[in-house]
A = this chain, B = another copy of it.
Amino acid sequence: MTSLDSANGPTVTPTPTPASERPDISELVVGVLGGTGDQGRGLAYRLAKAGQQVVLGSRSAERAEAAAAELGLGVRGADNAQTARESDIVIVAVPWEGHGELLANLAAELAGKIVVDCVNPLGFDKQGAYALTPEEGSAAQQAAALLPHSRVTAAFHHLSAVLLQDPSIDSIDTDVLVLGDERAATDLVQALAERIPGMRGIYAGRLRNAHQVESLVANLISVNRRYKAHAGLRITDV
């Protein structure tokens, strides 16, 4: 066992940014790739409801426009490439199976953008969910490898799409673990998470430690089955 408290090595992290000093992201455009899926649509809904400008992306512009019209709240729809071009922050909410190919094809459009990967590589069999291990270590590290000119972060892994999409729920009681190697980018993504009532954005390490955060969804699925819940995470003492 390694004690949590016995973290050796130099502490290179500067002091935390108080929530009140978070960057102002209210004018930034947020794109959601895979925005017609349950999780993408749920995130688009919550962010638009919070007043963020949102573009919902899909392979098909028509399907994206239809889904955007259904959401209302000023959400626009576009194909994935157009979504990437129009956005400052791009959330990647596509199935793991198409993740690498999609990002490789969008490398030019995503250059200079903040990319927020929220993909969980999981397999399923009769015993439930289990973690897949991408060759690069994690979905987020695969994104970073494919998008050398983007500012890649990882976040929003543990959200229930059911809760996100339920209009009768105003506040979602969970912390969003935000990972990344660039402080300015993770600060922005923490601020984005905190646009959604009930959520806190908590910095939780570098991209090299993304795999366990992505995979923890397998455990939360076990929790959900056992307790008939929509489990989320809170970090205590922060």
| Size bracket of the A interface | 35 or more
> A227 near B16 (CB under 8 angstroms)?
yes
A206 interfacial by beta-carbon distance below 8 Å? yes
**A129, A133, A157: most-surrounded residue (chain B CB, <10 A):** A129
A217 interfacial by beta-carbon distance below 8 Å? yes
From the candidates B40, B204, B224, name the one contacting A223 in the complex (CB within 8 A). B204
Report the separation of the CA atoms of residues A173 and B11 in the bound assembly, to the nearest whole angstrom.
Answer: 26
Residue ID in chain B nearest A40 by CB atoms: B1
Q: Which A residues, 209 to 238, have Cβ-Cβ distances below 8 Å to chain B?
A: 209, 211-213, 215-238
> A11 near B225 (CB under 8 angstroms)?
yes
Number of copies: 2
Chain B residues, Cβ within 8 Å of A205 = 128, 218-219, 221-223
Residue ID in chain B nearest A131 by CB atoms: B212
Report the separation of the CA atoms of residues A202 and B223 in the bound assembly, to the nearest whole angstrom.
Answer: 8
A20 interfacial by beta-carbon distance below 8 Å? no
Binds B, one of A31-39, A49-57, A73-81: A31-39
> A221 near B7 (CB under 8 angstroms)?
yes
> B225 near A7 (CB under 8 angstroms)?
yes
> A129 near B236 (CB under 8 angstroms)?
no
Report the separation of the CA atoms of residues A12 and B215 in the bound assembly, to the nearest whole angstrom.
Answer: 21
> B231 near A234 (CB under 8 angstroms)?
no
Chain B residues, Cβ within 8 Å of A216 = 212-213, 216
Report the separation of the CA atoms of residues A23 and B95 in the bound assembly, to the nearest whole angstrom.
Answer: 41
From the candidates B2, B179, B232, name the one contacting A96 in the complex (CB within 8 A). B2
From the candidates B1, B16, B94, B213, name the one contacting A219 in the complex (CB within 8 A). B213
Q: In the complex, what's the smallest C-beta–C-beta distance from A179 to chain B, in angstroms?
A: 8
Question: A residues engaging B (CB < 8 A)?
Answer: 1-13, 16, 34, 37-40, 93-96, 118-122, 124-131, 133, 157-162, 173-174, 177, 179, 202-206, 208-209, 211-213, 215-238
* Shortest 7 CB-CB contacts between residues of A and residues of B: A205-B222, A212-B215, A232-B236, A212-B212, A234-B234, A229-B237, A204-B219
8 contacts between A and B (CB under 8 A): A1-B93, A4-B158, A4-B230, A16-B227, A204-B223, A205-B218, A205-B219, A231-B238
